[in-house]
Each structure stands twice: as C-alpha cells, then as structure tokens.
Amino acid sequence: MLLRAILCLLLLVRVTASTNGESTHDLLSLGDTALTMGHSNEAVQYYEQGLERIHNDNDNDPTVNLLTELSLYTNLATAYSAMGQDHDAIAAYEKTLVAYKGSRNEIVDTAVKLQADEICAQAAFFLGMVYQDLGKPKDAAEAYQKAHELDPWHWASMANYGAVLNDEQQYQKAVTAYNTAYDILMNPEHKPTDPPAEPRFILSQLQYRIGLCISQDLEQTCVLEDDPEKTVSCQQLATHAFSLAVEYDADNESAKHMLATLTADATVDRASNSYVKSLFDDYAANFEHSLVQELGYTGYERLRRGFDKALGNVSQVPVFAKVVDAGCGTGLVGEQFRNVSQYLIGVDLSQAILSQAVKARPGLYNETVKGDVTQVFRDYKPIDLIIAADSYIYFGDLVPLFESMREGLQNGGYAAFTLENSNAENEKLLAESTPDWRWQLTASGRFAHRQEYVLAVAQAHDFQLVHYEKLNDFRFEKGVGVRGHIFVLQKTESREDQQRICK
Ligand SMILES: C[S@@+](CC[C@H](N)C(=O)[O-])C[C@H]1O[C@@H](n2cnc3c(N)ncnc32)[C@H](O)[C@@H]1O
C-alpha cells in the first residue's frame, strides 16, 4: 500500500528526547546515532543501558526522567522493529504507553505534558504499524486511535486507521478517518505533526481512498459528514473525491482510471430537478456576469451562427411560429433567436433565473414557463423550433429528452442545441476503457456526451442531422477551455406516421 510505505519512512526519522540528565541523555543520543546509521543492535544496547540507569537513579527530576524514559522506550522499540523483532518492539512501545499512563496526571508543566503526549502518540502510531504488519487489525486500530487521542494533529495515524478500517470493510468509518487526516493537513491554522514531504501527493492518495470507500456501494444515498441534513448520490460524492485526487496529483493514474470508469455511462442518468433548480436559484443574480465575463461563455451566439449555417445563411432562416428556448436562463440565447421567432417561450426550472430574464430583458419572451423542458415540450406542442444552449448538459441519458422533443415538435421542425464533450485526455482514456461510452458525468456535476451516441439517439427518434460542429472553448473552467458540440436536427415524419399515410 503506497500510503503505508511512505509512512514507514517516518519510523527512523522521528527520534525525540530532551533531558538534563547528562548520562542518560548521552546514552539516548548515542543510541539515536547508531539507529540512524542502521546499527540497530548497538542502539538497543545504549537504550537498555539508559533505561537501567534511569530506573536506578532516584536523584533526578522525575518529570525530566519521564521524558527520557519515554524516548528511550520508543526508540528501543523502533530499533527492535528495524531488526524484525516485532514482539520485542510491541513490548517496548507498550511500555512507553504504560509508563506514561501511570505518570501523566502528575505532570504540572503543560509544555512537558505536551512533549510527552507527542512522544507517546508517536509510540502508539508505530505500535499500530507493527500490529498492522502482523495482521492484527483490531490492535492496530486501537493504537492509531490512541495516537490521535494523544495528538489531535497526528494526520498519519488517522490515514493508517482509515486503511485498517477499509481492509476490514468498514467503509463508512474509513471515510471518516481519511477525512480527519485530510482536514488536519488542510487546516491553515495549525501545523500537522510530521507534515508530509509531498502534501499534494498525500492529499491525492487520501481522496483516492475516500473515493474507493464510497464506490463500494454506489446505489446508496450518501450523507455529507459536515452537513448530515444533506443527502447526495454516492456516485456524485465518489466522483468528487476522485476528481480532487486527480487535481492534487495529475499523475495519480488509479484515480484517473476510477474517475473515467465511474463517470462513463454511470448509473446517474440525469441531474435531479431539485439539484438544478437550487443551483440556478442560488446562482441567478450573478449568473450572466459569472458565465460571460468570468467563464468566457460564447455558446449562445455560436449556436445562432451554427443554426444560420445549417439553414444556408442568415437570409434563408425563416420566422418560426412557435419557438421554445429550453433552459433559457437569463435570455442570452433567446435574444439571439428573437428575430426568427414569432412567439418565443422561455422555459426554466429556476423561478429566480426566469425573474432575472424578465428583469434584464423585458419583453424578450412572449411567455415564460417554470418547469421541466421534457414536460413543457409536450404541453406546448406543436412547436416549430427548440433552442437549447448549455442546458441539455444536465441530462446524461438523452432518450427521455428526445422522446419529448419528438412529441413536441411538428414534422419538419428543428432542434438546435449544444452539449459538452469530454476533455481530450479523458476521451483518450475512455476510448481504451469504454470505447462505446455514451455519456459521462463530469467532476463539475454536468454531463459530457459522445457525438456518435447523440446521433444514434437522434436517428432512433426520427431526427435527421442537418448540421454538426465542434464547439471548443465555449466556456472556460479554471482557465481551461471546455469542449463541446453544436447539433442542428430536423424532425422527420415518424415511421408510424408514414405507415398511417400509406394505409
Ligand atoms: C448554464 S444555464 C444556460 C442558460 C442559457 N441557455 C444560456 O445559454 O445562457 C442552464 C439553464 O438550464 C436550466 N435547466 C437545466 N435543466 C433543465 C430542465 N430539465 N428543465 C428546464 N430548465 C433546465 C437551468 O435552470 C439553467 O437556467
């Protein structure tokens, strides 16, 4: 296990002691030097001599003696561990903890208490690792918990505790432990104990492991740890964890793989209406500024240009009697198609965004409707033109959408819409792992679609392709251009209609 291998390196590095007792201090230092040079046998002798001297010497300050004693036991155990004498190591680590348990309440100096806590936390942590190596998960778990109890900033004990729980298939508890380690490392106000040399690597590993635990049962609904009132799909939560893992470490191939497989043709087939509604209700006031000015969104005007190309050129675009702007937002697309719409209906799930559209572009729409586009297409049939920019990205499975477009549009009517495509690297991964992928839930919570899938669904629902165009960089996320598609389709007579006419 990668995380564990890295943590094991700490074993020889952490050697703590502070004492005024000259001779025991010397013995401790001599032992530490021998240990770091790999002379474990020699180190054992120094530490044992030191312990003997402490136990026979009653003149020194007992608290100073205690710190030295704790260090001697801990480092003695570490030397045994380096020699492969696991049972001796366990006995010595346990002695550290027992010695401290008996004296902790007598320590009045808080600085000394803190130091002793740290030494013992480290001893408990190492003890946990030995137990883990010996295949004793219960003892290991107890030791890691003890380490964290003594030193709440001991991220590594929580990371290893998570690994033990994961091996024991206690996935929920494992997520809590991993999250604790993650929170310690992310806390800007307190330095973690023994911070990792490469924090982004460790953060990536932690998120990857959180993702794996959550992925154990994707059918479930997950509860957010910091907001237990909120439930989300485990699929979304795992996707979030894997994408964070990739964000921290772009070379985390396992996380990349999990992200690709989890999100391609995932069991999530569309974003829930309540999710989309609350997203855009919250976003409404700042929506257009954020989308156009900050994210460089151009999908709305490029959809109109694509539509003109589809019909030949601008002069050949007729005026359509009834046009539905599906997922209209604040009216950016509606404005582009106003001059070819006799009666323009703006539809959106979010009332806040519809109000914003009316406020920002009074009179643009002849009518605004709050509702799900799939229902509105049916309620407002026959429709001559459906336009949808950046709104079908909340559907994964396009079948229900095409069923309702087929029902709502008249024969010969058009549907012009944009969709997202997967990013280039992901597309390559998918080509290897899932070549016939249909849709992919992206880390942003939206869906990307494969061109061939969209065309297959279109054909199956009596739509023919009039125009296709790549829509690269139509929006920017963290400075990276998002790839997309423009589709202009025309509804043909359905096979049923044709059969009816023939009869
Ligand atoms: C990113 S915005 C795009 C708005 C606008 N089309 C534009 O290009 O500026 C997506 C909009 O689609 C709406 N939307 C998403 N799914 C919808 C659905 N099933 N029915 C109605 N509106 C939906 C959202 O509420 C949101 O206002």
Which pLDDT does position 62 carry in this prediction?
62
Which pLDDT does position 109 carry in this prediction?
86
Which pLDDT does position 382 carry in this prediction?
97
DSSP 330-392: TSHHHHHHGGGEEEEEEEES-HHHHHHHHHHSTTS-SEEEES-HHHHHHHT-SEEEEEESS-G
In this structure, the residue with its CA closest to atom 9 of ligand 1 is 332
**Between residues 16 and 312, which one has the greater pLDDT?**
312
Residue type, 205: Q
Task: Quickly state the pLDDT bin for 61 (edges 50, 70, 90).
Answer: low
In this structure, the residue with its CA closest to atom 18 of ligand 1 is 372
**Between residues 57 and 352, which one has the greater pLDDT?**
352
For ligand 1, is residue 324 a contact (CB within 6 Å)? no
CA 269 to ligand 1 center in whole angstroms: 17
Type and span of the H or E element at 193 = none
- Asked if residues 50 and 67 have their Cβ atoms less than 8 Å apart, the reply is no
- Probe target for ligand 1 pocket from 305, 349, 351, 420, with the most ligand atoms within 8 Å of CB: 349
**Between residues 103 and 490, which one has the greater pLDDT?**
490
Task: Quickly state the pLDDT bin for 406 (edges 50, 70, 90).
Answer: very high
Which pLDDT does position 19 carry in this prediction?
40
**113: CB partners within 8 A, 6+ apart:** 104, 107
Residue range 256-314, pLDDT digits in tens: 777 876 777 666 678 778 878 877 887 888 888 889 988 999 999 999 999 999 998 87
Residue range 322-361, pLDDT digits in tens: 999 999 999 999 999 999 999 999 999 999 999 999 999 9
- Probe target for ligand 1 pocket from 269, 276, 369, 378, with the most ligand atoms within 8 Å of CB: 276
Which pLDDT does position 104 carry in this prediction?
80
For ligand 1, is residue 337 a contact (CB within 6 Å)? no
Alpha carbon 138 to chain centroid, angstroms = 29
For ligand 1, is residue 300 a contact (CB within 6 Å)? yes
Share of residues in the chain with pLDDT > 70 (%):
90
CATH 3.40.50.150 occupies which residues in the chain?
273-502
**Between residues 160 and 236, which one has the greater pLDDT?**
160
Structure tokens at 390: 């950046």
Q: Which atom of ligand 1 is nearest to the CA of 372?
A: 20
For ligand 1, is residue 328 a contact (CB within 6 Å)? yes
How far is residue 442's CA from residue 395's CA, in Å, rounded to a whole number?
12
Q: Which atom of ligand 1 is nearest to the CA of 303?
A: 8
Task: Quickly state the pLDDT bin for 15 (edges 50, 70, 90).
Answer: very low
**Between residues 121 and 435, which one has the greater pLDDT?**
121
Which pLDDT does position 314 carry in this prediction?
77
Q: How long, in residues, is the chain?
A: 503
How far is residue 347's CA from residue 334's CA, in Å, rounded to a whole number?
10
CATH 1.25.40.10 occupies which residues in the chain?
1-151
Residue range 175-210, pLDDT digits in tens: 999 999 999 999 999 999 999 999 999 999 999 999
Q: Looking at domain 1-151, what is its CATH homologous superfamily?
A: Tetratricopeptide repeat domain (1.25.40.10)
Mean pLDDT rounded to a whole number for the chain:
88
For ligand 1, is residue 288 a contact (CB within 6 Å)? no
Whether residue 428 has pLDDT greater than 90: no
Which pLDDT does position 108 carry in this prediction?
80
pTM for this model (two decimals) = 0.61
The mean pLDDT value for 53-62 works out to 72
The mean pLDDT value for 427-443 works out to 83
Share of residues in the chain with pLDDT > 90 (%):
63
Flag the least confident range among 61-65, 164-168, 211-215, 283-287.
61-65
CA 348 to ligand 1 center in whole angstroms: 6
Q: What is the CATH number of domain 273-502?
A: 3.40.50.150
